[in-house]
Every structure is written in C-alpha cells, then in structure tokens.
C-alpha cells in the first residue's frame, strides 16, 4: 500500500464528520443489499460506511479492512458505543488479506480508489474480485474532479485548483478516477457491469457548518502540500481563504460527482 495522502491525526475525525448517513444510503440504493449477506468493506477507515452496511445486511456480517491500525481502533470503539455487533475489522491491504477460505456476497469500496492510481487500483480490484463468491457483486464508488465544479465559474481559482490537483497526482492521488472505473471493471472481466452517476456533494449557496468544518480539516491536512505547490506560504493561505469564503457564499453553487460501478463475478 502506498503512503496515504491524507495521513494526519485529524483524519479519523474528518472521515466520521464527512460521512452523512442520508447521502451514503442514496449512494447504496442500487446495491443488492439484503439481510443475511456477508460483506467485505475495503478501505473502511473509521467504519462510518461499514456500520451502515452492517445495518442493511443484519444478521449478516460485515468485515471492514483498512491498513491503518489507528483508524481501525477508532472504528472498533465507535461500533461498540453504537451497539453494532455484526462487524469486525482487520488491519490489512486487501491484496494480501488473509481470511482463509472466507468469501463474500458483496465486496465494496468507497472513496479508496482515488488513492490507488494506475496498476495499484487494478491490482486492488482484482483482489476484491477474488474475495467474492460465485455470482457475487463487486462495487466501487469514487469521486471525479474533486473541488473543481462550481457556478458561476471562477476564471482565477479554476486554473489554480486544477494545478493543485496536478500536484496531488504526483503524490499518488487520482482526482479523475471515477470516470475510469467502468474501464477497469471491463478490463477485469466483470459481468453485468452497472454504472450510476450521482452527486457526491451538492451545495446551493452557503455550505452548512459541518461541511465548512470538513473542508477546514482537509485544508489543514493538506497544508504542507498546499505550501509546496503555491509558495510563498502567504499565497497558499490566501487561496484557502478564498476557497472557504466562496463555500460560504449564497450566490455560488458547488457540486461534485460520484461514480458507483458494480459488476458480477
């Protein structure tokens, strides 16, 4: 597993804060989730989505896999406090995951593949496929063009944000992975491939306080990268202030897209 771009003490809190139940349920609506299913959640982080999957398939079991011991400790604590008993967590990279002969009806991943560019993503998808039972479903949900889309268009900030995404690509981020998922599934030999395109976020006017907090955390986590991309430090700070001001502007529409791609084994 490559270094995680968002590795930071704030990351667990950010993941929990940004994962809103109603949006996740909307993104999961096309999946064949039924009680009694066994599900593998790949790149589960703090388990914010894992717990929703567990609720949908109860009394089936959901196994959450992530390489971060710290975030899985948080996941286990949150699950205990929430009384979610049909989940368990494993610290691993799915490509080398050791679960014996255990296989799953659904193998799922959300917002992971943007951090798995090129062959790393292809190998991860193949590993997910190996973990599914015959006739099982693999689903990957991920975003495309994060932070780029808004109206009115900002002729100054638009190129700056695109330039920053290019810098993040050098650090292992694929900001346009969503549009590539169908081709990845087709290349991997999946059957009955289904593609849904949904809003990941849709912010007409001023963002709410939770959304603003999530973006502030994200900026804090990426602070070093921002300063490297836009020297001197004052320029990076001005850019971030401008972005946050725009998020609180009643006259601006911000939006982003999520591709949800699933296929049968």
pTM comes to 0.94
Q: Could you please report the per-residue DSSP string of 24-61? A: HHHHTTTS---TT--EEEET-TTSHHHHHHHHHHTTS-
> Does 203 have pLDDT greater than 60?
yes
Average of per-residue pLDDT across 246-257: 96
pLDDT above 50 for 1 = no
Strands across the sheet containing 39-42:
87-91, 62-66, 39-42, 104-110, 132-151, 253-264, 191-204
Spatial distance between the Cα atoms of 55 and 146, rounded to a whole number of angstroms:
29
Q: Which helix (H) or strand (E) holds 16?
A: helix 11-18
pLDDT at 261 over 70: yes
- Mean pLDDT of the chain, nearest integer: 94
Tell how strand 39-42 and strand 253-264 pair up: unpaired
Q: Among positive and negative, which fits the CA dihedral 9, 12, 13, 18?
A: positive
Q: 51-107: per-residue pLDDT in tens?
A: 999 999 999 999 999 999 999 999 999 999 999 999 999 999 999 888 877 899 999
Residues 46 and 74: beta-carbon distance below 8 Å: yes
Q: Looking at residue 101, what is its pLDDT?
A: 77
* pLDDT confidence of residue 100: 78
Sign of CA dihedral 147, 48, 210, 5: negative
> What is the Cα–Cα distance from 170 to 172, expressed in whole angstroms?
6
User: Does the pLDDT at position 210 exceed 90?
Assistant: yes
3 confidence band (pLDDT: 50, 70, 90): confident
Q: Give the pLDDT score at 99.
A: 80
Answer whether 257's CB lies under 8 Å from 181's CB.
Answer: no
């Amino acid at each position: 597993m490559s270094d995680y771009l968002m590795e930071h003490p704030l990351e667990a809190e950010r993941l929990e804060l940004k994962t809103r139940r109603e949006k996740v349920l909307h993104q999961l609506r096309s999946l064949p989730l039924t009680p009694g299913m066994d599900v593998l959640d790949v790149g589960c982080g703090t388990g914010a989505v894992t717990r929703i999957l567990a609720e949908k398939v109860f009394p089936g079991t959901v196994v959450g896999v992530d390489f971060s011991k710290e975030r899985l400790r948080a996941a286990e604590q949150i699950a205990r406090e929430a009384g979610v008993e049909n989940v368990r967590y494993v610290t691993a990279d799915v490509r080398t995951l050791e679960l014996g002969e255990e296989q799953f009806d659904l193998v799922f991943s959300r917002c992971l593949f943007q951090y798995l560019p090129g062959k790393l993503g292809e190998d991860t998808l193949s590993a997910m496929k190996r973990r599914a039972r015959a006739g099982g479903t693999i689903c990957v949900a991920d975003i495309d063009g994060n932070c780029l889309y808004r109206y009115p268009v900002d002729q100054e900030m638009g190129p700056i944000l695109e330039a920053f995404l290019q810098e993040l690509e050098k650090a292992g981020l694929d900001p346009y992975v969503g549009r590539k998922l169908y081709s990845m599934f087709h290349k991997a030999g999946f059957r009955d491939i289904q593609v849904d395109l949904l809003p990941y976020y849709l912010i007409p006017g001023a963002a709410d306080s939770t959304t603003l907090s999530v973006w502030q955390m994200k900026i804090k986590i990426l602070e070093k990268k921002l300063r490297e991309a836009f020297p001197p430090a004052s320029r990076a700070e001005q850019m971030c202030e401008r972005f946050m001001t725009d998020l609180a502007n009643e006259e601006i529409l911000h939006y982003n897209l999520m591709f949800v791609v699933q296929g049968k084994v």
